[in-house]
Chain A
């Protein structure tokens, strides 16, 4: 009987090996909650840059863009279409994965990554040919600040998508476990939303 009790105790100890599970006070998945908090902080960062933009344009009533400079609306518009397309391919990839279509997931995620990379390449090319620099005027500073901040977010998104690509091609995701696609996907859609706001306010209006 004593031996049985020891054996049961050993089994019990085996089940509870290591520290106790962390307390979860939220119904939201920790990875998702972390991304949501990160996105909220990012919205505040963009808000600071938009404050500078509206201060120059509305409070100081400065010309936008600065006198003698012009923003390439058409190229940026095409670039916007490329970035928005990447959200569609990402959504398609996620949908394909839920349907059990592994090839669809791989094709969608790879296309998303390449579209994002194209967007960043065109953005850098725009900087090279735009004809003004951040130190030329306050408008130039805000332009490079806002678009550069967004470009940095695209770079972060591409880094996340690179890992999603590697994992997708290695077959890490299952129909039940797809948090690794879901969380970077939310971030990528957020990056697209911010670009629509940046493009509308900086280039169009």
Chain B
């Protein structure tokens, strides 16, 4: 695995991935709570 913090641009890309994953987790959790 390559270091995601090897440059500012890569750290920013890693941040975008984390936002995407967090959004999916929140949506799934809200769906489960609604069921």
Tell me the A residues contacting B by CB distance below 8 Å: 28, 32, 35-36, 39, 84, 87, 90-91, 94, 181-182, 185-186, 189-190, 192-193, 196-197, 200, 204-205
Contact = CB atoms under 8 A, between A and B. Distances in A.
B17 to A, nearest CB: 9
Given A196-B22, A200-B26, A205-B29, A186 B15 contact: no
Given A193-B14, A196-B18, A197-B18, A186 B8 contact: yes
B26 A189 contact: no
Nearest to A84: B19
A87 B12 contact: yes
B10 to A, nearest CB: 8
A182 B19 contact: no
Nearest to B19: A196
Contact of A186 (B5, B18, B19): B5
Contacts of A32: 6
Interface in B1-35: 3, 5-9, 11-12, 14-15, 18-19, 22, 25-26, 29
Contacts of A87: 12, 15
A189 B29 contact: no
B15 A36 contact: no
Nearest to A91: B12
Contacts of A182: 7-8
B22 A186 contact: no
B8 to A, nearest CB: 4
Contacts of B29: 204-205
A24 B3 CA distance: 19
- Give 6 nearest A-B pairs by CB, closest first: A185-B8, A189-B11, A91-B12, A186-B11, A200-B22, A189-B15
Given A84-B19, A204-B29, A91 B9 contact: yes
B15 A193 contact: yes
A190 B25 CA distance: 19
A98 to B, nearest CB: 9
Given A196-B18, A200-B22, A189 B12 contact: yes
A84 B6 CA distance: 20
Contacts of B22: 196-197, 200
B9 A192 contact: no
